[in-house]
Chains A and B, each alone.
Chain A
Amino acid sequence: MAEVKDIKIKEESAFSFGKDEKKLLSDPLNDNNPITVQVLGVCSALAVTTLLSKAIVMGIAVTFVTAFSNLFTSMLRNYIPKQIRMIVQLVIIAFLVTVVELALKAVNYPIWKDLSVFIGLIITNCIVMGRLEAYAMANKPWKSFLDGIGNGLGYALILIIIAATRELFGKGSLLDFKIIGPTSEYLLNTTDISLLSWYTANNLMILSPAAMFVVAIIIWVQRHYNKKLVDIS
């Protein structure tokens, strides 16, 4: 009994927020970004970035799953046998993803329909699994939780940049709000046709290869300013 109490006190005192914890949150945003540096979770990042709204929802969903799967795995880390840890981790992740999916279906049905299988694919999103293996299995719950949030945010950041670029140039809008080119109300009420054609939406940006190019450009810019990330081989 005394032992249990001791552990509890230790865990509670670990709820600090100092320099280390701040680093856990800020590191994945740039130096250790899940997508552009660790190359984890690329799959879904590319498929859901045609619209900014989809990317934001996906970012929130992934942050939730990474944070809580890190937390739960870290709490259970001393009880999970080494041989079957993969299956235990997968069950934790699958449980959280099911929660997210059902919640999203109830709250915002159109977006759920849009994201289709990609919410389910968070299960095999390598970020979640990668962080569990690399961090949560070896660290305390509170720090693992922060690490999960940090990595989820790093992922969301890249997703939002890609989606904003693609939606802006592919549809001329952001969050369905027209930015480049005339709005549809203007089109209905005008007779002046010469103004209409100054920007034609670039359909390539909506197609999947464009996501690849945008990521490549992000990597290029990031590594230009952050020389230590450059691939030497």
Chain B
Amino acid sequence: MGDLINIFIKSAFIENLALSYFLGMCSFLAVSKSVKTAIGLGIAVIFVNGLTIPMNWLIDHYLLGEGGLLGMDLTFLRFIIFISTIAALVQLVEMVVEKVSPSLYNSLGIFLPLITVNCAILGASLFMITKEYNFSQSVSFGLGGGVGWALAIVAIAAIREKMQYSHVPAPLRGLGMAFLLTGLMGMAFMGLMGIDPAAFK
């Protein structure tokens, strides 16, 4: 159990997908203009990340791997399979959410399809492979990665809302400032490297 919390903390704060690997930057920069939309996208990412990564783990382990059901090494198909899983799962999640909770669907609605091409999701799936996690570890890694990403986008949206009241040199306005802020936040997050994950064991 301690191991799982350890991975959760590590993926959420120390190896933050957005701020230390810069994954999902496109939507990170485009959708961080107001806190409200940022929260919507953040929740959607936690949701999809927490589901797709264990799912991809199962597929990789039982279908593509050498000891899998097909009995041959199909790992070179990883990219195609993973991205299709993500696309299919996003579609599925969208339909389920629409049936079960229309209010949640309305708040997530536009962001769910966007997530298919969010590199944070595919990136986390590939990191899950390179780090050789087992199933429960990959669940924890997926949730942690999603939480870290959501945290980062909500934080930068809050800062950008405040930035509207300050005088920024014209060429830096908008995009330039967003990059600078992300860099500064990345530096702040690097301070979290001091956390000793072993303390949670």
Assess the B26–A40 pair: CB atoms within 8 A: yes
**Most chain B beta-carbon neighbours within 10 Å: one of A43, A44, A86, A208:** A43
Which residues of chain B are near A98, meaning CB under 8 Å? 76-77, 79-80
Return A61 CB to nearest CB of chain B, in Å: 13
Once bound together, how far apart are the Cα atoms of A113 and B77, in whole Å? 18
Interface flag for B195 (CB, 8 Å):
no
Among residues of A, the one whose C-beta sits closest to the C-beta of B21 is A47
Which residues of chain A are near B93, meaning CB under 8 Å? none
Among residues of B, the one whose C-beta sits closest to the C-beta of A127 is B26
Interface flag for B119 (CB, 8 Å):
yes
Once bound together, how far apart are the Cα atoms of A120 and B129, in whole Å? 12
Among residues of B, the one whose C-beta sits closest to the C-beta of A223 is B171
Interface flag for A220 (CB, 8 Å):
yes
Assess the A102–B119 pair: CB atoms within 8 A: no
Interface of A (DSSP majority class) = helix
Among residues of A, the one whose C-beta sits closest to the C-beta of B129 is A117
Chain B contributes a number of interface residues (CB within 8 A of A) equal to: 45
Chain A contributes a number of interface residues (CB within 8 A of B) equal to: 46
Once bound together, how far apart are the Cα atoms of A79 and B76, in whole Å? 28
1/0 contact trace for B93-121 toward A, CB 8 Å?
00000000000000000000000111101
Interface flag for B180 (CB, 8 Å):
yes
1/0 contact trace for A124-154 toward B, CB 8 Å?
1110010000000000000000000000000
The B25-59 residues at the A interface (CB cut-off 8 A) are 25-26, 29-30
Q: Which of B76, B126, B182 contacts A117 (CB 8 A)?
A: B126
Assess the B26–A41 pair: CB atoms within 8 A: yes
Among residues of A, the one whose C-beta sits closest to the C-beta of B17 is A43
Which residues of chain B are near A215, meaning CB under 8 Å? 179
Assess the B172–A87 pair: CB atoms within 8 A: no
Assess the B117–A220 pair: CB atoms within 8 A: no
Assess the A212–B182 pair: CB atoms within 8 A: yes
Assess the A219–B182 pair: CB atoms within 8 A: no
Assess the A42–B25 pair: CB atoms within 8 A: yes
Q: Can you offer 22 A-B residue contacts whose CB atoms are under 8 A?
A: A36-B175, A39-B29, A43-B23, A43-B123, A47-B21, A47-B23, A86-B116, A87-B84, A91-B84, A98-B77, A102-B76, A116-B126, A117-B123, A121-B119, A121-B122, A124-B123, A211-B22, A212-B179, A213-B179, A220-B171, A223-B171, A224-B171
Q: Which residues of A contact B (CB under 8 A)?
A: 36, 39-44, 46-47, 86-87, 90-91, 94-95, 97-98, 101-102, 116-117, 120-121, 123-126, 129, 207-213, 215-216, 219-224, 230-231, 233
Known pairs A42-B22, A46-B22; list 7 more (Cβ under 8 Å): A208-B19, A212-B22, A212-B186, A216-B172, A216-B176, A216-B183, A224-B171
